[in-house]
Amino acid sequence: MTTPTAVTFSETDIDRLGDHAGRIGLIVDAAGRLDVAGRRVNRLCKGALKRALEARVEAGFKEGDSLTLAYPAGMAAEAVDVICLARNAAEIPARHAGALLGQKRGKADLLLVAGALRRAAWVVQGAVLRDYSFRDHKTSGEVPEGAIEVMANDPAAVEEAVAPLLAVADGTFMARDLVNEPANILTTTTFADRLTEMTALGLKVEVLEEDKLEELGLRTLLAVGQGSASPSKVVVMQWDGGADDAAPLALVGKGVVFDTGGISLKPAAGMEDMTMDMGGAGTVAGVMRALALRKAKANVVGLVGLVENMPSGTAIRPGDVVKSMKGDTVEILNTDAEGRLVLCDVMWYAQERFEPAGVIDLATLTGAIIIGLGHENAGVFSNDDTLCNAFLKAADAEAEGAWRMPLGQAYDDMLKSPIADMKNIGGRPGGSITAAQFLQRFIKEDMPWIHLDIAGVASLKSPSKLAPKGATGWGVRALDRLVADMFEKG
C-alpha cells in the first residue's frame, strides 16, 4: 500500500529557515502581510519575497493563489512556496492550500511554517492527500522521497489535531490504491487478502467463500461471478468502537474487480477503465481503515461483494431468471447491469445478520449518473431524510460533491417483469434512478438507507485539487465525518 508522506512537528525556530535545503511553505493573507517567519525569509533573500508579494497583491492575490521563489539568494532552500490563505480560514480552503504545497513538493523535504495558523492541521492533511503517487508497477526504481516537517508555535496541539485527519488520509490512500490496481493483480482473492490484513488494526475480518454464499442463498451475487475463474466472495469487516448494545451502521460496497459486461459485452474502447468497477468496495475498505486507525467510538460494519463479470460458457445470459437471497426473482435482461445484483444480496445479508441502524451502499453503478451529474457530484438516493441530510452535510463539509436524486413509484414500475418479480434494468430513461429503485426493493421497511452512485467521481481522467489523475478515494472523508457527526456524537 502507498504510505502517506511522513509528517513531523517542531517548534517555530526562524534561525533554521536559512539552512533548510528542501522547500519552505509560507502562508500569507491576501494583503501579503508577513509573520515573523516570513519577515526572516524576506531578510534572508534580501527583500525578494516582499517585492514579489507586492507585485502579486497589486495584480490581485486571492485565497488559493500561490507564488514560488526558486533557489532564493541567501538561502539553502530549493524554493519558497507562498500560499494565500486567511489566518482564520475555514477547513476547506486550508486543506486546498495544503494541497498546493503537496503538489509542489516533489522529492524535496517540505518545511511548512505554520506559526499560529488556526487551521494548520487541515493544511497538513491537504498536503498529504495531494502528495500521492501510485508507483507499485513502475520499474524505474524511483522511490518517493522527502518528508513534511510542520513548524508551529504549539506543535503538540497541531500534532494532536492532525492525527485523526492523517488516519483519514491513510484510509483514502488505501481506497485509491485499490481502485488504481489492475485487475490481473487485484483479483477477488487478492482483494480479500488485503482486507484480511486489517485485522492488525483491530478490525474483525471474515471472508465468506462460495460454498458459504451458496448456503446463505446469495444467488444473484454468485450469478454475476459464475462466468469467471475467480471465485466470488463477500468480506465482512467489523469495527466495534461504540457501545455494546448500539446497532452498527452498515456500509456495503460493490466490488466488481473487472467488468466486461458479461454476455452483454461492453465496447472495447474504454473497457480498460473497468478495473475501477470495484470503487464502492474500495471506499468501504478505506473508511473501515480510517475508523480503525483513529479508534472511532462507533460501531460500523463494512461488507463488500467481490466478483468478476466475465463472458464464458458458464456466464449468466440475458433472459435468465435468478432468485435473490431475499427470495425475490430477477429477470436478467442485461448482464452489464450486474452491480445491483451484487449489492442487493449483500444488503439483504447485512440487514438479516446485523440489524443495522442504517445501510449505505456505494457503487460505480451507472453511466447514466455521469450523464446527469458529470464528474463533480455523486448521485445520492435515500428513503430517509435524517440520514440523507446528515450525509449531505458531511459531504459538503469535506467538499466531496454529492447531489440528491429522486425516487418514486413511477420509476419503480419500470422494473416490472412479465415472468419474474422484477427486471434488472428499467430502460434508458432515468437509468440511475431505476437502478436505485431496484436496490430499494431489498431494503427492509423502516430501514434508513442511502445509495451512492459514484461512477463519475471514483476515478478521474485529470487531476483534482486533492488527488492526481486516477483514483480519488471519494467518500472516505465524507463517510468518516458522517460517522463522527451522527454515530459518535449522537
Q: Print the SS3 string covering the chain.
A: CCCCCCEEEEECCHHHCCCCCCEEEEEECCCCCCCHHHHHHHHHCCCHHHHHHHHHHHHCCCCCCEEEEECCCCCCCCEEEEEECCCCCCHHHHHHHHHHHHHHHCCCCEEEEEECCCCHHHHHHHHHHHCCCCCCCCCCCCCCCCCEEEEECCHHHHHHHHHHHHHHHHHHHHHHHHHHCCCCCCCHHHHHHHHHHHHHHCCEEEEECHHHHHHHCCHHHHHHHCCCCCCCEEEEEEEECCCCCCCCEEEEEEEEEEECCCCCCCCCCCHHHHHHCCHHHHHHHHHHHHHHHCCCCCEEEEEEEEEEECCCCCCCCCCCEEECCCCCEEECCCCCCCHHHHHHHHHHHHHHHHCCCEEEEEECCCCHHHHHHCCCCEEEEECCHHHHHHHHHHHHHCCCCEEECCCCHHHHHCCCCCCCCEECCCCCCCHHHHHHHHHHCCCCCCCCEEEEECCCCCEECCCCCCCCCEECCCCHHHHHHHHHHHHHCC
Query: Given this model, what pLDDT does residue 233 score?
Result: 98
d(CA 451, CA 474): 14
Q: What is the pLDDT along the chain (490 residues), one digit of tens a residue?
A: 899 999 999 999 999 999 999 999 999 999 999 999 999 999 999 999 999 999 999 999 999 999 999 999 999 999 999 999 998 899 999 999 999 999 999 999 999 999 999 999 999 999 999 999 998 898 876 656 789 999 999 999 999 999 999 999 999 999 999 999 999 999 999 999 999 999 999 999 999 999 999 999 999 999 999 999 999 999 999 999 999 999 999 999 999 999 999 999 999 999 999 999 999 999 999 999 999 999 999 999 999 999 999 999 999 999 999 999 999 999 999 999 999 999 999 999 999 999 999 999 999 999 999 999 999 999 999 999 999 999 999 999 999 999 999 999 999 999 999 999 999 999 999 999 999 999 999 999 999 999 999 999 999 999 999 999 999 999 999 999 999 999 997 5
Distance of CA 300 to the CA centre of its chain: 17
Query: Given this model, what pLDDT does residue 144 score?
Result: 62
What are the backbone dihedrals phi and psi of residue 448, each rounded to the nearest 5 degrees, phi first?
-60, 135
Query: Given this model, what pLDDT does residue 311 score?
Result: 98
* pTM over 0.85, yes/no: yes
260: burial class by Cβ within 10 Å (0-12, 13-18, 19+)? buried
Query: Given this model, what pLDDT does residue 267 score?
Result: 96
Asked if CATH classification 3.40.220.10 holds for the domain at 7-153, the reply, yes or no, is yes
Catalytic residues: 266, 340
170-488 homologous superfamily: Zn peptidases (3.40.630.10)
Residues forming beta bridges with residue 238, ordered by sequence position: 204, 301
Query: Given this model, what pLDDT does residue 1 score?
Result: 86
Query: Given this model, what pLDDT does residue 141 score?
Result: 60
d(CA 388, CA 306): 26
Query: Given this model, what pLDDT does residue 138 score?
Result: 86
- 279-293 helix and 155-180 helix, angle to the nearest 10 degrees: 150
Query: Given this model, what pLDDT does residue 145 score?
Result: 76
Distance of CA 145 to the CA centre of its chain: 24
Backbone torsion region of residue 306, taken as left when φ is above 0, otherwise alpha when ψ lies between -120 and 50, otherwise beta: beta
If we measure between CA atoms, which residue out of 248, 249, 270, 250 comes closest to residue 259?
A: 270
d(CA 437, CA 410): 10
Copy the grid coordinates of residue 243.
457501545
If we measure between CA atoms, which residue out of 155, 153, 154, 145 comes closest to residue 22?
A: 145
Query: Given this model, what pLDDT does residue 139 score?
Result: 84
Domain ranges of the chain: 7-153, 170-488
Query: Given this model, what pLDDT does residue 140 score?
Result: 77
